A and B are shown apart, each in its own frame.
Chain A
Amino acid sequence: MSMEAAAIKTKNPIYRRIVLGVLWLGLLYGAFRIFPYIIDLVVVVIIAVVMNYIFRPLVGILERRGIHRVVAITLIFAILLGLIVLLLNSLVPSLIEEIGSLSSNLEALDFEGIYVQGVEWLNLRIPGLLKLFGLDTTQAGDVMDRVAAASANFLRQSVNILASAANILSLSIVVPFLLFFMLKDGDKMTRALIRRVPNRFFEMTMSLANRVDNALGNYIRSVLIESSIVGLLVWGGLGIVGVRFALILGIINGFLNMIPFFGPLIAYIPTAIVILITFQPIGWGLFWMVVVLIVAQALDNILLKPLLISRSTNVHPATVLLVVLIGGRVAGAVGMFVAVPVYSIIQIIVLDLYDHLKKYRIV
C-alpha cells in the first residue's frame, strides 16, 4: 500500500464514519426524547433570540450616536414597556371584546344543521359520493363530535405549550433578562465561544458565525416585517369594507403568512367563517374578502417578498407541507406557525456550514 493510500485510510477509515454516524443518530434521538421536557425553555430562548435580532440594529444606531450601550438598551426597554402598556390599554380590550363576541356568535351557530344541509346538497348532486366515504345525515352529531374533539385536542396542546412556556413569569422576567444580556454581551459571548474552537476550524467558524448571524438577522426581521404588513393590509382592507372582527382576522392572516404557500390559503377559512356569520349580504362579503386577500397577497408576492426575503430561504411546497405537519405534531398550532421559519433557519445554517466546510477544505 502506498503511503498516500495509507494516509487516506488512517485519516478517514470506514469504522470512524460508522461510529460518527451512530453518535449523531444517538444525539438526534436523545434530543428528540428530551425535547418535550425542555420545550418551554426552548420557547423562552427562541423568543429572546428573535427579539435580540429585532432590537440589535436599534442598539447599534443609538451607539453610533454616542449613547453608551447599556443606556441604549435601557432606553429601548423603556420604550418597549411604554408600547406594551399602550397596547394593553387600547388594543387588547377591543381584541378581547371581538374574541368574546366571535365565540358567542360561533356558539349560536347551528353547525349540525349546516352539516346536514351540506350533506343533503351533495347527495342530490353527486349520489354515491357520500356512500363512498360512508357518510349520511344521521351521523351528523357523531362527525361533529369527532371534529370538535380533534379541534379541542389540537387547541389544548397549543394552549398547554403557551401556558407552560409563555407564562407570566417567563415572559415578564426571564425573556427580558435574557434579552438584556444578549443585547449587552452578545458579541462577547460569541467571542468566548469562538475562542474555544481549535485552530484548524478557527477561520471557518469565524466566517460561518458571521454569515449565519447576518442571514438569520435578515430572515427574522424580514419575516416579521412582511407578516406585519400583510396583517395590517388585511385589517385595513376588511375594516374599510365593513367586515367585523377585522383586527383578529388581520392578526390571523399576518401569522398564517409565515407559512409559505398554504398559510395564505388556510387564512381564507377563518375569514370566510367570520363573514358567513356576521356579514350581510354574504355574497358581497365573500367577494370583498377575496379582493382584500388577493390584493394583500399580490402586494406581498410582488413587492414585499422580493424586497425582503432572500432567495436562499426558498422552500419547496412539499417540504413546507411536511414541515408544517411535523411542527403541528410536536407543538400544536404554535408548532405549525414556527415550523417553516425554524426549518428555514436550520436550512441557512446547514447550507452555510456545508459551503464553508468545502471552501476551507475540511471535507
Chain B
Amino acid sequence: MAEKNTVLDEVAYGDGGPKSPAGKRLAVEWAPFHRGKLAEDVLVKRALRQTPLFENLRSRDWKLMSDLFHVRDYTAGEIIFEEGTPGLGMYVIVEGKVKIITHEKDEEVILATLATGDFFGEMSLIDEIERSASAMAETPTRLVGLFRPQLQQLMTHRPRLGITIFERLARIVVQRLRYSNQILLQQVKERDAGDLA
C-alpha cells in the first residue's frame, strides 16, 4: 500500500485547498494543475532549507534553483546509486531513510543511515568521480537531486548564484576534510601509543 504523503497532503488539502504562491486561494478548476507544482515547491524548499548548501537563499534565487532540482521517489530496498558507477550529483532526503553501504569481501557493510534533511553524494557535484559507496532506500523515500549539468548551467546563466553554491560546497568539503584529518590523526596517535607500550 502506498504510504501517505504527509507534506503533499498538507500542502494540497491541509487548510481547505491549494493556494497560489502569493497566498490567494486558487479557483477550483485550476487547482489540479497548480497543486502538483505548488506542493513540490514547498516540499523541495522545506527539505533544502535544512541543508547548509541551500540555507538562507533569497526568494528570487529559490525560484531559479527550483527549476534545477529533480524530485525522485524510491521504494524500500531500491538502489539509488551503485558503488563504482560515475557520480553525477547529490541528493537531499525529503522523507524516508537511506542506507549508505559498501562491500568488503562480499559482505555488506553499512557506513551510515541517513534521514530527513541529510544529504549525500555532494562530491560528485565538483567532478565525475566514481561513487565510493552505494545508496539504498531503507524505507519509502523521497529525494531531491541536484546534478552537475544543472549546476554548470547555473554557473553559466546565473554566475553569482552559482558561485555562492560552489563556495558553500567548498566549505562543506573542507569541513569533511578536517574531520577526516582529525580521525586520521587520532588513529596515528593511538598507533604510536600502542607502539610505545
Residues of A within 8 A of B (CB): 60, 63-64, 187-188, 191, 194-195, 199-200, 202-203, 206-207, 210, 359-361
Contacts and interface: CB of A to CB of B under 8 A. Distances in A.
A206 B153 CA distance: 14
Interface string B143-164: 0000101000100111100000
B160 to A, nearest CB: 10
Interface of B: 67, 70, 72, 74, 78-82, 84-86, 88-89, 147, 149, 153, 156-159
Contact of B70 (A188, A191, A200): A191
A83 B156 CA distance: 28
A194 B156 contact: no
B79 A360 contact: no
Given A199-B72, A199-B74, A199-B80, A206 B88 contact: yes
Contact of A64 (B79, B81, B156): B156
Nearest to A356: B86
Contact of B88 (A60, A64, A203): A203
A361 B157 contact: no
Nearest to A207: B88
Given A199-B78, A210-B149, 12 more contacts: A60-B156, A63-B157, A64-B159, A187-B153, A191-B70, A199-B74, A202-B70, A203-B89, A206-B89, A207-B86, A207-B149, A359-B85
B85 A361 contact: yes
A360 B85 contact: yes
A203 B143 CA distance: 13
Nearest to B149: A210
Contacts of A360: 82, 85-86
24 contacts: A63-B157, A64-B156, A64-B157, A64-B158, A187-B67, A188-B67, A191-B70, A199-B72, A199-B74, A199-B78, A199-B79, A202-B70, A203-B81, A203-B85, A203-B88, A203-B89, A206-B70, A206-B88, A206-B149, A207-B86, A207-B88, A359-B86, A361-B82, A361-B85
A188 B156 CA distance: 17
Nearest to A210: B149
A194 to B, nearest CB: 7
B79 A200 contact: yes
B70 A194 contact: yes
Nearest to B159: A64
Contacts of B153: 187
A194 B89 CA distance: 15
Contacts of B81: 203
A54 B84 CA distance: 36
Residue of A191, A194, A199, A361 contacting most chain B CB atoms (<10 Å): A199
Contacts of A191: 67, 70
A187 B85 CA distance: 25
Contacts of B82: 360-361
Contacts of A188: 67
A210 B156 CA distance: 15
A3 to B, nearest CB: 14
B86 A195 contact: no
A63 B72 CA distance: 29
Given A191-B70, A195-B70, A203-B85, A60 B157 contact: yes
Contacts of A64: 156-159
B147 A206 contact: yes
A64 B154 CA distance: 10
B72 A202 contact: yes
A188 B157 CA distance: 15
Nearest to B130: A359
Contacts of B85: 203, 359-361
Nearest 5 Cβ contacts at the A-B interface:
A210-B149, A203-B88, A360-B85, A207-B88, A63-B157
A356 B99 CA distance: 25
